[in-house]
Amino acid sequence: MISKLKVEAEPPLWLTCRSGLIPFYNQFGFVDATGSGDLPPYFRRIRGLARVLMTLAGARQTLAVMVWPDQDKPDGSPPRGPARRSRS
């Protein structure tokens, strides 16, 4: 499914997951953008909400925001701008 999405979508391709799944998505070329100041507004809001809810629930993991970056960017940093939606 991930490979299919990568074929159909252009970078950047964003996703959210439990922080424990970061290594899983790394193998598909996604990088952790959670601490980046370049998160699109949607992901900043979701991450803030998730942080509050997970703290209240006593969760050990956090919400990670990951991106399959634009390979044309020389530094490989997460791209700026709105998240692109993939077709279902």
Summarised one tens digit per residue, pLDDT across range 29-74 is: 999 999 888 899 999 999 999 999 999 999 999 999 999 998 765 4
Indicate whether 87 belongs to any domain. Answer: no
86, pLDDT greater than 50: no
pLDDT band at 78 (very low <50, low <70, confident <90, very high): low
Structural domains counted in the chain:
1
Indicate whether 35 belongs to any domain. Answer: yes
Task: Tell me the pTM.
Answer: 0.73
Of residues 87, 68, 88, the one with CA closest to residue 78? 68
Which two structure tokens, joined as six digits, stand for 55?
């703290």
Indicate whether 57 belongs to any domain. Answer: yes
What domain range includes position 35? 2-68
87 with 8: CB under 8 angstroms?
yes
Indicate whether 78 belongs to any domain. Answer: no
Instruction: Return the pLDDT at 43.
Output: 94
Of residues 14, 11, 1, 10, the one with CA closest to residue 64? 14
10 with 87: CB under 8 angstroms?
no
Indicate whether 79 belongs to any domain. Answer: no
Q: How far apart are CA 71 and CA 59, in angstroms?
A: 34
Instruction: Return the pLDDT at 31.
Output: 96
